[in-house]
Amino acid sequence: MAWTELTREQHMRTATRYPSDLPDAEWAVIGPRLPGPNRLGRPRTVDLRRVWDAIRYLAAAGCAWSLLPQDFPPVSTVRYYFYSWRNDGLLTVINRELVAV
């Protein structure tokens, strides 16, 4: 069966890829809290929303770091941001704000 304009509309993905992906309303709360780009070093090339989605995926799935799907940023990048935000207390701040919403 070939794709037609009608079938493309019927089967177009409108939902997020994973159930753990962040809704836009929550991103509006979290996004401003995440650190901006550094003045020194290389410019950031990773999307922090995708990093946050990866952290949520790992938490929801309860899986090991090595089982993170390939369509997320690299495991080492996600792990770096997770530990950095945990050590800075940012995850605690974000959790409080999301609970308050």
Provide the residue ranges of all domains of the chain, joining segments of one domain with +: 24-33+46-101
Hey, is 40 helix, strand or coil? Answer: coil
Q: Is 81 helix (H, G, I), strand (E, B) or coil?
A: helix
Residue 75 has what pLDDT? Answer: 96
Residue range 68-96, pLDDT digits in tens: 999 899 999 999 999 999 999 999 999 99
pTM: 0.79
> pLDDT tens, 5-36?
777 777 666 556 787 888 888 889 999 999 88
Would the pLDDT of 99 be above 80? yes
**Cβ neighbours of residue 37 under 8 Å, at least 6 residues apart?**
43, 44
d(CA 17, CA 22): 10
Q: Which of 15-24, 43-52, 59-68, 89-98 has the lowest mean pLDDT?
A: 15-24
